[in-house]
Amino acid sequence: MTAADVALKIGRATNSPSKLNHEYNVYTALAGSPGIAEVYWYGKEDIYEVIALKYLGTSLDDLICEHQLGIRKTFLYASQMVCLFMQKRISLITLSTVQLSVIESLHSRHYIHRDIKPGNFMVQADNLPPAVFLIDFGLARQFRNPATYLHTPFSMNQSIVGTLPFMSINGQQGHTQSRRDDLESLIYTIIYAAHGDLPWAGSSVRSNHEVVLQMKLSITVEELCKGLPTSFCNFVGHIRSLDFDRKPDYQYLHSILSQVSESETAEVDQPNNALPPAHPHPLPPAHSPASPSAHPSFNAQHAPVFSDEK
């Protein structure tokens, strides 16, 4: 191991259990899982605490900002990300070999992430197939009892956590998060990866909690998926239909992403060629301002982040 192989995450040390200490404990619990970074060391030095992790390369957010992703490649990566939610190995049509992916590893180990976003996916794009890793577990929590599999009870007065543009509707409303919320954040991650933008990402909107929430509530599935293959509407519709403690149909979601990633039509790689709309699937109604049509200045790295750390 060399210095180039290590990434350091540094925080100010506290007397009480810290967010960084919690993150280290989650990494330890997930040790050995595909798509999870290897942890080398955790400790305190003077007024700081440090986690030493395996260096994983480039974040998905950096790839998006460098305009290296087309829509087809976005869905190829997305297929791998969704497989990480699954409870068993499956074959990917579009990839020669498949590991159980990060989110599958996370959920099968009884955890949810609660801050799924492009900056928290690391992509080793030189690999074939590309390797995808999930990082930053400071907000991760167990969603069920590992011994009994009893699900965490639903509550409507939770702290709001996550990164505002990618936060699920339920999470943004202060509801207890579950597997469906990680998947909803994945929806926004995929759309952002495909377009470099989200409908609520305008400079005058993106830090306004209530406006962003109302826009998420009022936008239809077809509006949200504009410019993407129509089958992706089924992906969004399934996730939006999930009850709090219901297990998602990961195989169905994976099959949709595989179908999209295999598409070799010219339309898929041309963002200006809108695909024919499917039948409308409205999201829960709400009154909100009209969605801005384009916000090229949006950078996910600068989006507001909410934490339940006191």
Among residues 13, 34, 54, the one where a domain terminates is 54
pTM to 2 decimal places: 0.78
Same domain? For 178 and 162 the reply is: yes
Are 137 and 74 part of one and the same domain? yes
DSSP 96-112: SS----HHHHHHHTTEE
Domain membership of residue 89 as a residue range:
58-306
User: Is there a single domain that holds both residue 237 and residue 111?
Assistant: yes
- For the segment 226-245, the average pLDDT, to the nearest whole number, is 91
Tens of pLDDT, residues 241-297: 999 999 988 888 878 877 776 653 434 344 433 323 333 344 433 333 333 333 334
Query: Based on the domain organization, do 138 and 41 belong to the same domain?
Result: no
Check whether residue 21 and residue 121 sit in a common domain: no
> Which residues are part of the catalytic machinery?
115
Are residues 148 and 68 part of one domain?
Answer: yes
- Are 128 and 142 in the same domain? yes
pLDDT(308) > 90: no
Q: Is the pLDDT of residue 35 over 80?
A: yes
3-class SS shares of the chain: helix, strand, coil, % to 5: 35, 15, 50
Confidence band of 303 (pLDDT split at 50, 70, 90): low
What's the total number of domains in the chain?
A: 2
In a shared domain, residues 148 and 96: yes
The pLDDT of 299-306, averaged and rounded, is: 58
Between residues 149 and 129, which one has the greater pLDDT?
Answer: 149
Same domain (yes/no): 46, 74:
no
Mean model confidence pLDDT for the chain: 76
State which of 57-66, 124-133, 180-189 shows the largest mean pLDDT: 180-189
Q: Give Cα 211 to chain centroid, integer Å.
A: 21
Q: Are residues 88 and 30 in the same domain?
A: no
Give the lowest-confidence range in 79-93, 141-155, 207-221: 79-93
- Asked if residue 65 and residue 200 are part of one domain, the reply reads yes
Residues 97 and 130: their CA atoms lie apart, in Å, by 10
pLDDT surpassing 90 at residue 65:
no
Q: DSSP label at 143?
A: S
Write the CATH number for 50: 3.30.200.20
Residues 6+ apart with CB under 8 A from 204: none
For position 183, which CATH number holds?
Answer: 1.10.510.10
pLDDT digits (tens, 9 = 90+) for 98-143: 333 677 778 889 999 999 998 998 877 666 666 788 999 999 999 9
User: Quick one: 160 and 225 in the same domain?
Assistant: yes
